[in-house]
Structure 1
Amino acid sequence: MVATTDITTADGTVRGLRGRRVSRWRSIPFAAPPVGELRFRAPQPVQPWRGVRDATQFGFAAMQHRNGARIGPRTQQPTGEDCLTLNVTVPNEPAAGPRPVMVFIHGGGYFIGTSALGLYSGARLAVRGDVIVVSINYRLGAFGYVDFSEYSTPANAFDSNLGLRDQVAALEWVRRNIAAFGGDPGNVTIFGESAGAHAVLALFATPAAAGLFHRGISQSPPADWASSPADAKLFAQRCVTELGATATTAAERLRTASANDIRRAVDRAINRILHDQPGLFPGAPLVDGEYLPLSPIDAFASGAAHRVPLIIGTNQDEATLFTRFDDTLPTTPERIHWLLRQSGADAESRVTAAYPGYPSPKAAVRVGGDFTFWRPSLQVMESHSRYAPTYAYRFDFAPRAIQLAGFGATHALDLLPVFGATDTPIGRAMTIAGGQRGLRAVTRQFMDNWLAFARTGSPLPSWPAYTEDRRATWIIDYPPHVAYDPDKTKRLAWQGVRIPALT
């Protein structure tokens, strides 16, 4: 017989599963379903329920291509607009007091992904660190990161920054309810990878998120993603055109079209932009001057970002994953030429000279990864270190099988050690050619530093803070070490390079 456990939240009682080491609640609603009249509207409060709500099974992932919601080799989570839910994992051992809370925001470019991935439950992280792990869904792509507000009418109003607003609503739920699960609402760490890492930085720049979290961890963020009002307007126009609507018919079409029709139209618009303008991604939070007053990069530079501790870093070989599965980054000389000429006549020669062997394929891939992830992360490290404790890292380790496959320390590889997946089937497969001892050591580095940070606001003492004068960077490898201003020549070469505007 499956053991269950009930918790009463502010909205009603939820029934979860009690396992051997942890208890889990799945797909708890943190906002009303954004369907019908609430499509393209800011998240609204949950309607309280009577009785016990089942939270033993996952509901819907956010609307996306079904392959994006894959949660197993042959398993895909159903997708739907009714997706504003979160999951809670709690250690079963009694706690001496309220537990720290770690809220994970999944990646996927803001258009795919789900919190239902087994890795994201954080069970091993929760047990090792005696913390509560929360993983959240938020609206993606067409329903979360396109600003259709210019098409609003008295009968059909549309809001902007919906995905970002969803993330704030989830954190508000944590503040109201996590104490019922034994968590400390005054000790919340947000962490995420890729687009989820960018979401962490966007929340740092969002006034409505003030006080809802107390530290953040940003793993491989494309940190300078942001949509200007002009870019957002042009992108929305292209999406409406793909949907077969005009300015006068857009509101009704957006309200009545099927979710899949809207999703497919926006995916087509995104794919055309990624093909025509490598390095630009249009589906990002909108700098609207109100909900998001400044882009994350500008908020950090001006000191307007929330002044709480931050861990931020990237992987040594970020872009190799994309060349195999998702060719959207500027990783060829042709794409790099187009991109860098947008930043001035000498940008291309200056940057490429810093990469020995360029234009070889390997060097070009490194340029594309550094442009997308490392270059803007440096700006955040520099800026935030002036105002709050900041800790920088670079992840260099890759088991031999991953190296032989040509990936190295690629994008998203860090998720496995962070969540303690060394002894899972995928962890064992990665070390089939050796490297198990190294992977275990790297896993301890990640987990213990992340947990120390979540508990105290500082990683372990061996990791010094980042400052502009020393630029101390924790190199996560086997063995680990601290480097000071690693890849200085490349860092200087990237100065002044920016993402171009949408055309």
Structure 2
Amino acid sequence: MKPDNALNGKNDHTNNTDTTARAIRSWLGIPYASAERFRRSILLPFNPDLPYDQKGPAPLQPGDNSWLEADNGLSEDCLNLNVWAPKEAGDEPLPVIVYIYGGGFERGANTQTTSNASGLAATGRAIGVSLNYRLGPFGWLSLSQYGGAFADATNLGLQDIITALRWVQENIARFGGDPQNVTVTGHSAGAFSSIALLAAPAADGLYQRLAAFSGGASRIVPAWWAEELANKFLTELGITDDPEQLLTLDGKLLSETLFKVGPRDIGDRNGIDNTTIGIVNDHSQTGGVLVDTPLRILESGRHHDVDILFSTATNEADWWVINATEQFDPGSIDNLVDELVTKSRIPRSRARDIVAAYDVKGRTPVEVRGALLTDYIYTLPAARAALAHAAAGGKAHLLAVGPVEGAPAVHGTEMNGIVGQQRPRHSGEQAIRDNLVRDALLDFAAGKHERLWDSVTTEPVTHGIGNSPFDPSARAAEVLRIFAGIERP
């Protein structure tokens, strides 16, 4: 999107992704907080006199970053957000949809097209907000155990998100948004972060609805592993005896080093202990942000008044089957059984039965692993969380996004649709599917449940979008049966 802005209505433009698009206004790169390295973010006031006509810096992160569309580079000083609003607003304030990008807590930004929520505002039905949060060591490395200068350093990325939501509460009305009607949504790491808000008392009252795409009440990192990863990180840098050197070492070095020492395989990163970076179950640590795991909070009914949408793609892990075949391939069915035993502590006899449920239809071992991990990492946690929320008196909806012409239903397939964008050179079916995803989110954010499908009760009622290879409700029930009694949020 060409940057433009203005509270006074100058530099307006029309989003032409479809014939119903409306003129919008945008405010880009608004600083919402400041933060010193490894310190919690501090809320900043909004200055209406600045132009906000350029994207802000993207978060510092490893690797090639050309895909981030980061016009103003990368920086540790990245706590900015974008706001998009319809030019012609009605008398009533609009629902607010706050988008949190994914990227494994290591990559991503609010600068990329798949974070561009102008497509939501262009419908005239919502105010779109897209925020940055700190990544890698700056946002998700747990260092609070060292005390002193690191006393705040637990779940700093989540603390950034909460600070951004505080900014929305204080300022969104001036953009035409309703601060009492905020939906937080995200994809992958952004979805895990959205649902983690349930377990963070500091976020109470800052949102009314949560919509999690390809991530739910899971992937919570145990405190013991968070400390071990920090130790591996310091050891690699050679500063275990003097952690405070982290305050002055080159930021790019820190980013690249954590990426190097952290597990890379999706199975390692999503096993029962989630040995990676991410949201830490820090309730027993100094300065802890969470009071429990999100699933236990759902089971308790503490947030039964929060409506939740859980969405998964029908073949999530096939992204790795297709794009990282050699690294993802277990080599044999026996190796896959071993993986369930060692990484998720599933008894071997039961692990054999689980693998056998997926070793069908002539699948190769890599395809078996893709189908199994799709359900274990995504389908199962979504169904269990939705059922727990419903049992506690909450309203939960389950969505399954299926393949369409030109677009398989793998991890990330619906990212454009979530923010109301269209993928370049999309097929007609893909345009329809992405618009259905967009409109479902808009209906959900507006509280128009009568325009959605049935919510979950005692059964995992699931609505399908696209050409699903199975009945989504029946499949969710089957996955619950396959993994019955197996510990997994």
| TM-score of the two chains, using structure 2 as the length reference | 0.87
Instruction: Map 1:131-150 to 2 at 5 A.
Output: 131-150=126-145
Say whether the 8 Å CA contact 1:222–1:377 is kept in structure 2.
Answer: yes
> Taking every aligned residue pair, what percent have the same amino acid on both sides?
27
Question: Partners in 1 of 2:248 and 2:279 — Cα distance?
Answer: 25
Q: 1:291 to 1:186 in 2, by over 3 A?
A: same
- Alpha-carbon offset, residue 181 of structure 1: 0.6
Per the TM alignment, residue 370 of structure 1 is displaced from its structure 2 partner at its CA by 1.7
Q: How far is the alpha carbon of 1:264 from its aligned partner?
A: 1.5
Structure 1 residue 488 displacement after superposition: 3.2
Query: What is the rounded CA distance, in whole Å, between the counterparts of 1:409 and 1:275 in structure 2?
Result: 19
Residue of 218, 222, 233 corresponding to 1:224: 218
Match of 2:366 in 1: 361
| 2:456 pairs with one of 436, 450, 466 | 466
Is residue 2:485 matched to residue 1:491?
no
* 1:495 CA drift (Å): 2.5
Letter in 1 for 2:55: F
Unaligned 5+ segments in structure 2 are 15-22
- In structure 1, C-alpha distance between the alignment counterparts of 2:385 and 2:228, rounded to whole Å: 28
Amino acid at match of 2:457: T
After superposition, residues 245-394 of structure 1 pair within 5 angstroms as 245-246=239-240, 248-251=241-244, 253-271=245-263, 279=271, 280-289=274-283, 290-305=288-303, 307-325=305-323, 332=330, 333=333, 336-341=336-341, 342-355=345-358, 356-357=360-361, 360-386=365-391, 387-394=393-400
Decide whether the 8 Å contact of 2:55 with 2:71 is kept in 1: no
Instruction: Report the AA paired with residue 120 of structure 1.
Output: S
Quote the offset at 1:360 in angstroms: 3.7
Structure 1 residue aligned with 2:154: 160
Q: Which range is displaced more, 197-206 or 361-370?
A: 361-370
Task: Evaluate the alpha carbon distance shift between residue 315 and residue 66 of structure 1 in structure 2; reply closer, same or farther with a 3 A threshold.
Answer: same
Q: Distance in 1 between matches of 2:109 and 2:10?
A: 19
Deviations 1:149-199 (A, max 9, x none): 12233x664421101100000000000000011110011111111111111
Q: Structure 2 counterpart of 1:29, which letter?
A: P
SS in 1 for 2:50: strand
| Alignment equivalent of 2:446, drawn from 448, 455, 480 | 455
How much has 1:324 moved relative to structure 2? 4.0
> What residue is the counterpart of 1:405 in the other structure?
none
Choose which of 408, 428, 437 in structure 2 pairs with 1:446: 437
Shift of 1:288: 1.7
Contact 1:381/1:466, CA 8 A, preserved across alignment: yes
Give the alignment's TM-score, normalised by structure 1: 0.85
Please state whether the residue corresponding to 2:174 is helix, strand or coil.
Answer: helix
Q: CA deviation at 1:296?
A: 1.7
2:279 and 2:49 mapped to 1: Cα distance? 36
Report the Cα offset of residue 60 of structure 1. Answer: 1.3
Partner amino acid, structure 1, of 2:463: W
Cα distance change of structure 1 residues 479 and 351 upon mapping to structure 2, 3 Å threshold: closer
Which residues of 2 match residues 79-94 of structure 1 at below 5 A? 79-94=74-89
AA partner of residue 395 (structure 2): P
Could you say which residue in structure 2 is the equivalent of 1:412?
A: 412
Q: CA deviation at 1:334?
A: 6.3
Instruction: Give the drift of 1:282.
Output: 1.9
Q: Deviation above 6 Å: which 4+ runs of structure 1?
A: 272-278, 327-330, 479-482
Structure 2: which amino acid aligns with 1:497?
Answer: I
Task: State the distance in 2 between where 1:412 and 1:216 align.
Answer: 18
- Residue 128 of structure 1 aligns to a residue whose secondary structure is coil
Question: Equivalent residue for 2:18?
Answer: none
Structure 1, 181-190 or 450-459: larger mean CA deviation: 450-459
In the TM superposition, what whole-angstrom CA distance separates every residue of 1:381-415 from its partner, at most 9, and x where no partner exists? 1111122111111111321x34xxxxx21111112
RMSD between aligned residues? 2.9
Letter in 2 for 1:134: V
Q: CA deviation at 1:330?
A: 6.3
